[in-house]
Chains A and B, each alone.
Chain A
Amino acid sequence: MYRARIIPCLLLRGHGLVKTRKFKDPVYVGDPVNAVRIFSEKEVDELVVLDIDASRTGREPVYELIAEIAGECFMPVAYGGGIKTLSQVRKLIRCGIEKVVINSAAVESTALIHEAAAVFGSQAVVGAIDVRRTLLGGYRVFAKSGTQETKLKPEEHATALVEAGAGEIFLNNIDNDGQMQGYDLSLLKRVCSRVRVPVVACGGAGTVEHLNQALSEGGASAVAAGSMFIFHGRHRAVLINYPYNLQLWK
């Protein structure tokens, strides 16, 4: 038995905090540093911060903001978005983050994952995979914030990322994003059964029951959610929240 991590996943668009639905229609929800400070006070297990514009537009991570965010985090924090080179990874670690999340850069080659793991250790390298269900019921990996379809199958891509040195897999179903109707459990099962490192489920959480399903049925080691910790009520009013003293054992 161990205590599964419950991880708020925050999306950056430049300097603002946003939330998407199906990776589209980003709605501004506030100042990221302020949100992070509240999450830190609520003693969240960990935080994932993703810049959803950086890879798509080919822009650099916003280092000053990331350093400011890391300075508020008395828990581990992972950053993803626009990471293409080892020197960027080094700079990000220097900013005070624990883990880099590599997604688009690992679609063509796993070299960066390999290099980053060799220098900073596998625990510092998260391989992220955005997935969409195909018309025929299979799954395909998408790059650049869901805008670029690839030929990769998620379970095979996950295996390749782990072999290259990723210490963790962050798995997101694009179509479940922001829906708050539950995770894609069959996708989770497919990937979790193929790798031996922790898999973090993302995309679709709306209730504590959903979190439990990802752990027990999906086989995830940890659960991440955006909307659930940012919105309150049917009208999606912005309210940073995190269940007090919620313990999910696995």
Chain B
Amino acid sequence: MIAIIDYDIGNLAAVANMFHRIGVACEVTAQPERIKLADKIVLPGNGAFDACMHALRASELLPLLEARIRGDKIPLLGICVGAQMLGHSSEEGSEPGLGWLDMRVKRFPSLQDLRVPHMGWNHVKTNKPGHPLVQGMDEETRFYFVHSYYMEPAKPDIVILTAHYGIDFAAAVCDKNVAGVQFHPEKSHRFGKQLLARFAREF
């Protein structure tokens, strides 16, 4: 069972809806007993970085999540701000991040004709074609993005997908069992379904 962590942020129904469509057992939950039983965890996130960090701390689930992910080393997928929170910090706020991935979150530069947020569909480039999360992606693959800040890993080797919006930025990162995607796979048609299916079955 995949536990989708409910810490009262954003649209959780969409992630569960897509897992159900592809026949993957999942639960939207904030119950420690359920999270203890989970094989994998999805950490969604929407809105402001500090608001998400506050809400996650307030949920009192952090020690348990840390034990499951850093201790038991079960797979984790962070989505959007849920991925950004895996880094050390964000230029969007003053709260420290979780620090599970060696990266910082930066604001998109203000470039002419490129409005921020980056909102819409974008194609991705595969940095690690053999990686279980991105196998089978081709030039048609696209995802729905909506963000004003992007992840900047200290070392580029954890970047598995790159996208371009004025600058090249990390669309997906992964270090061992901890992965994060900047886009919304739950809102990216068959491309997102494929990615979530790979997370559920092959990661």
Contact = CB atoms under 8 A, between A and B. Distances in A.
Given A2-B120, A93-B10, A196-B115, A120 B46 contact: yes
B: contact size bracket:
35 or more
A143 to B, nearest CB: 26
B29 interface: no
A36 to B, nearest CB: 13
Contacts, number: 98
B115 to A, nearest CB: 5
Contact of B115 (A71, A118, A198): A198
Contact of A96 (B11, B118, B189, B192): B11
A4 B14 contact: no
Interface stretch (A27-35, A121-129, A201-209): A121-129
Contacts of A70: 13-14, 17
A221 B17 contact: no
Interface string B47-76: 110010000000000000000000000000
A5 B121 contact: yes
Interface string A202-234: 000000000000000000011000000000000
A3 interface: yes
B116 interface: yes
State the main secondary structure of chain A at its contact with B. Answer: loop
A75 B187 contact: yes
Given A74-B188, A75-B144, A75-B188, A3 B120 contact: yes
B5 to A, nearest CB: 16
Contacts of A180: none
Interface in B1-52: 10-11, 13-14, 17-18, 21, 46-48, 51
A197 B115 contact: yes
Contacts of B51: 119, 121
A74 B13 contact: no
Interface in A155-199: 167-168, 196-198
B122 interface: yes
7 nearest A-B pairs in the assembled complex, by CB-CB distance: A121-B47, A96-B13, A123-B146, A43-B189, A5-B120, A76-B187, A74-B189
Given A74-B192, A76-B146, 14 more contacts: A2-B165, A3-B120, A5-B120, A45-B120, A45-B121, A93-B10, A96-B17, A119-B47, A120-B46, A123-B119, A124-B46, A196-B116, A221-B119, A222-B119
Interface of A: 2-5, 40, 43, 45-46, 67, 70-71, 73-76, 93-98, 118-124, 167-168, 196-198, 221-222
30 contacts: A3-B120, A40-B189, A45-B120, A46-B120, A67-B13, A70-B14, A71-B17, A73-B14, A74-B18, A74-B186, A74-B187, A75-B188, A76-B184, A95-B13, A96-B13, A96-B17, A118-B48, A119-B47, A120-B47, A121-B46, A121-B47, A122-B117, A123-B46, A124-B10, A124-B46, A167-B119, A168-B119, A197-B116, A221-B115, A221-B119
